[in-house]
Structure 1
Amino acid sequence: MTDMRSEMLDHKQALAQLSPDTRAALQTRSDRAGLVHLALYLLALCACILWIATRAPLWPLALLPLGILWSFLFTLSHECTHDTPFATRWINTVVGHACALPLMLPFTWFRAFHMAHHKFTNDPQNDPELEHGARPTTWRQYAQYLSGWGYWRSMIATLLQNAFGTINAPYLPPRRHAAMRREARILLALYALIFASLLISPLAFWLWILPSLICQPALRAYLLAEHGHCPPVANMLANSRTTVTNRLVRFLAWNMPYHAEHHAFPNVPFHHLPALHAELKPHLQSTSDGYHNFHQAYRDGLE
């Protein structure tokens, strides 16, 4: 019997088979596609905010969708680090910085962090996503990861380090240190104002703090599938996972469930990733049929 895996190409070989016209079309960015997607996302976000703020009937039920929408702004921030959601570069920058506040994710810092992740994907020595250790291998680590505690602790430490400490990670370019320091101090000042507002009104607690805390696990569960249990190899079609999922999740995540495709060709904007998926599908080596199936298989490997 022929070994189908032996017929698969790595990401460089697979992309080399694309015609110049196809490659150019896949990289075409669009303000319209990005702004329409963003408008729909913000419409849903604002609807949930109004539902809670006006104490409309059954308003506590809106905490869950609001928290998911806040949390999944991460995927938009991630896309903005690549300047791909919008054709106009400054729109990507503005939107990326706007996402920083609800996520506690400083955009200038995150861009450098994420570019290093792409360069050293799943490399245990150099991938900054692994600088604090490997992905969960025990039930306790798995539960802690999904709780979101590690994320909030890490981002608070990053903000304080960037604002007042020494910025010395090898993937953070010295020419951007001043901007990172300024960014962190501005964000910390804004958080101080937000938390001070709680002395006057609990609105920030209900509209941002609580929803973000209770729904961060949904984002953690999504993110673990991107590279969890993928091999530490150079082939992006193996070290990153594509997860088959529904339109709602793809909408929330700006098509990032096509994650192997994204890593193989990061210049492709979110709205062309389904087309890239069609081209690379025969060569994908790490895939899951849904997030439930991924986590079921992941848990089977825990100690």
Structure 2
Amino acid sequence: MKKYLSTLLAVCLVLAAFSMPASALEYTFDSPPTGDFGTPTSTEDIIQTGAEPANKDRSKSSALIPPGFGTPTSYLPNSGEYLTPNLAADGPLSGNYTLTVTGGTGGGAPALPGAVDTSAPTSPAYPTTSGPVTAFTDVTADLYYRNGSLGTLEIPSIGLSVNIYQGTDSAALKKGAGHFTNTSIWNGNVALAGHNRGVNNHFGKIHTLDTGNTITLTTALGTRTYTVTSVAKVDVMDNTMLEATSDNCITLFTCVMNQPSYRWCVRAVEA
């Protein structure tokens, strides 16, 4: 028994010699390396003039909705309607505008006098380099007939009577004569287009017209009779006959058969 206790004591002493004290572990944290940012190289000094910018009001209260593309006033400065008319200091721009060009060569600057009384709409003038003042009547909703047309074109000498529709796309020309949307519908130059062959070849004979033949235009604004003054073959890229005029006239266009680079152009003036 004594020998057993001696052995047990020796084992306990050996174990005590190899035991390690319990303590908390230590941790070391290093900060990440600094970012690889470029070094500023500009040495330009900032100059403070103290002057106020020319356009101080950049808020939505001064924003304008631009006019429709191709309309007579689409290129005029300060034209259009306010985006928020209730916030506009000077009130909304509304009604029609009359545009005049100073100088006999059309080189003067257009003048926009401002809004006019909307209870009596007027036709805005449409300037070109051909004269000091031109006439123009825009297409409005009240000018359409119930069948969707803008009026009727009649040429007795070739037996033509056809309805007029807005636009010169295939949908309009399929129904009748098409009205060039950037031209007048009453005062000034009224420009129309039509097919020259096929089922809807309404303008197939306009190149056979002679000077002095009559053309009648009927719209919601009335009826006008024109006298043919010229029949010509023009280049397909020549759009001078689409320009607005100071006198009342009508211009008809159609393709030239088998000559895609040209088209027939008939001009008639008010009789």
The answer, yes or no, to whether TM exceeds 0.5 is no
Bin of the TM-score, shorter chain as denominator length: under 0.3
Whichever of the two has the greater Rg, that structure is: 2
TM-score normalised per structure 2: 0.22
Structure (1 or 2) with the greater helix fraction: 1
Higher relative contact order (CA 8 A, sep 6+): 1
Structure (1 or 2) with the greater strand fraction: 2
TM-score normalised per structure 1: 0.20
